Structure 1
Amino acid sequence: MMRAMYIVPVLVVLGALALSSVFIVDERKKALVLQFGQVTQVKSDPGLGFKIPFVQDVVYYEDRILGLQTTPLEVTMLDDRRLVVDAFSRWRIVDLVQFREAVGVGGETQGLRRLEGIVNPAIQEVLGSVPSNRVLSEDRTALMNQIRDIARRQAANLGIEVIDVRLTRTDLPEQNLEATFARMRAEREREAADEIARGGEAAQRVRASADRTVVELTSDARRQAEVVRGEADAERNRILAESYGRDPEFFAFIRSLTAYEVSLQGANSSIVMQPDSEFFDYLRSDQAPADPAETPEAAPAPAPAPAP
């Protein structure tokens, strides 16, 4: 009985020692076995590992690709324009021993700080040597590759591999935005004024051309009308002369009737003349005047003034 009482505690202690000497490495992790702060074993493959209980410790590190979002920083470009830039970097630990010696007990958190201290100066170095329009053009990819290469060379001393660096934002500082917008508005207003001026000039040319065309067409129409009117008057005079030559007496009679019609229009027409005037020869007798060719053309006499 006394022996059994000692065996059970011994077994418990041995079991505890056995359990404490075994550790498990997940497939997403890597592990370092440390003895008094010194690395004694590197466990990179997933599975069981063994260590000396109470003497050695196990520290786990990520084996997956990690991300780093840098804090925004202002960069002065080659053309003296300032841009607020931040970037996103992907990285992983490739040398556990070197990483441990570089960052100490801080692990991945300290690794992020150290990596950001590498990426930000690389961004300033690359972007500070080019004008701002290259950052906003197709050269952006080449610039990001340059930043990645610089960060990759410097991060190799930390046991870190920089897989990629991408610029996520390139904006103007807040204090420069209003000035930039004002300059853009002024440029657009100037362009609009230029377009309005060119449009007004073109409209003036069109109106002047239209006015000139109207004057030319009107003048030509008047000329043609005068020609037609002259031809008509000539034809009328020719017909009148021909008619007069054929029958002078009939022509005189028609002219007298026309003079009567013109003179005696209206309800209160009055004519003042001598009673024996030749104007009424065709009204006093059915005989024609002795010399119709000499009969004067009757014209409407002015109306007498009203009695006071």
Structure 2
Amino acid sequence: MRKTTYLLPVLVLVVIGALSSLFIVDEREKALVLQFGKVVSVKEEPGLYFKVPMIQEVVTYDDRILSREVGPLEITPSDDRRLIVDAFARYRITDVVQFRQAVGAGGIQLAEQRLDNILRSQTREVLGKVSSNDILSSDRATLMLRIRNAAITEARSLGLEVIDVRLKRTDLPQANLEATFARMRAEREREAADEIARGKEAALRIQAQADRTVVELVSDANRQSEIIRGEADAKRNGIFAAAYGADQEFFEFYRSLEAYRKALLEGNSSMVMSPDSEFFNYLKSANPDQ
């Protein structure tokens, strides 16, 4: 009975010691076995492992791809047009020993603070060499790749691999929005005024061309009409001359009738002339008694 009393505590201590010497590495983790703060073993494969109780400790780190949001960052591109940029990065711990040496007991929290500094520095460096139009255009994918490549080198000293960097939002500072909108409005108004001026110039040019064409057409038509009229008058005079030469008395009779038609119009039939005037020769009867 007395032996059982002594063995039971010992057995309990043995069981506790055995359990405390066991640890499990999950497939989503990597583990470091530390002895007095120094790394003595790296466990990267999932499974059940042993450590020395009370002397060694186990520190685990996430082996998955992690995300890190980079807060709003004010940058000044090459055209001095300030922008507010939000970004995020995806990274993973590739070298847990180097990671432990770089951040110590600070762990992920300290590592992400240092990664933030790297991303902010490289974002300012890359975007500060291009214009704001390049940042806002479709070429920003190239810029994000340059930021990632620059951050990879610096993050490697932390035992981290930067997998991707993305710019989520790129806006103007609130204080600059109104001034920017006013400048954009002025530029559009100037472009509209230039288009209107060019349109008016083109309209005047077309109108002048049309007016000149009208003048040329009317002048040519008048010239042709004068030629036709001259030819017709010449032909008419020729006919009159031929008729006069063929029968002089008939021609004189015809001319007299034309004179009567023009002189004896309605409302204009009062004439004061001598009865023996030659104007009435063809109105007189051949018989004096009639």
TM-score by length of 2: 0.80
Cα distance in structure 1, aligned partners of 2:12 and 2:287: 173
Partner of 1:259: 259
**1:37-56 to 2 correspondences below 5 Å:** 37-53=37-53, 56=56
| Distance in structure 2 (CA, Å) of the matches to 1:265 and 1:106 | 127
Give the 3-state SS of the residue equivalent to 1:74 in structure 2: strand
Which amino acid is 2:64 matched to? R
Provide the residue aligned with 2:31 in structure 1.
31
> Could you tell me which residue of structure 1 aligns to residue 59 of structure 2?
59
Partners of 1:286 and 1:217 lie apart in 2 by 57
Which amino acid in 2 is paired with 1:21? S
| Alpha-carbon spacing, 1:77–1:250, altered in 2? closer, same or farther (3 Å) | closer
Q: Show the counterpart of 2:154.
A: 154
Q: Residues 113-133 of structure 1: CA distance to partner in whole angstroms, max 9, x if unpaired?
A: 121122212222333345545
Matching residue of 1:114: 114
Q: 1:255 to 1:144 in 2, by over 3 A?
A: closer
> 1:1-308 to 2 correspondence within 5 Å?
14-35=14-35, 37-53=37-53, 56-132=56-132, 135=135, 143-266=143-266, 269-286=269-286
Displacement after TM superposition at 1:209 (Å): 2.2
Map Cα deviations across residues 199-245 of structure 1 (whole Å, 9 max, x no partner).
Answer: 22222222222222222222222222222222222222222222222
Unaligned segments of structure 1, at least 5 residues: 289-308
Residue identity in the other structure for 2:98: Q
Aligned CA distance change for structure 1 residues 154 and 248 (closer, same or farther; 3 Å): closer
Larger Rg: 1
2:212 partner amino acid: R
Report the alpha carbon displacement of residue 27 of structure 1 after superposing the two structures with TM.
0.8
Match of 1:304 in 2: none
Q: Distance in 2 between matches of 1:130 and 1:252?
A: 103
* Amino acid across the alignment from 1:246: A
Q: CA deviation at 1:256?
A: 3.2
Q: CA deviation at 1:262?
A: 3.4
Task: Give me the CA root mean square deviation.
Answer: 3.4
Uncovered stretches (5+) of structure 2, i.e. residues with no partner = none
SS at match of 1:266: coil
* CA distance in structure 2 between the partners assigned to 1:145 and 1:215 by the alignment: 67
Number of paired residues?
A: 288
Q: SS of the residue aligned with 2:71?
A: coil
State the distance in 1 between where 2:122 and 2:65 align: 21
Using the TM superposition, name which of 90-99 and 255-264 deviates more: 255-264
Q: Cα deviation per residue 1:59-89 (whole Å; 9 max; x = unaligned)?
A: 3211122222211211223443323233332
1:148-191 Cα deviation digits (max 9, x unpaired): 34433333332223334344444433323332332233223223
What CA distance in whole angstroms lies between the structure 1 residues aligned with 2:190 and 2:208?
A: 27
Deviations 1:9-53 (A, max 9, x none): 766665454334322211111123345655444321100112344
- Aligned equivalents of 2:151, 2:282: Cα separation in 1: 129
> What is the TM-score normalised by the length of structure 1?
0.76
Helix, strand or coil at the partner of 1:72: strand
Moved runs in structure 1, 4+ residues, more than 6 A? Answer: 1-10
Provide the identity percentage: 63
Q: Which amino acid aligns with 1:23?
A: F
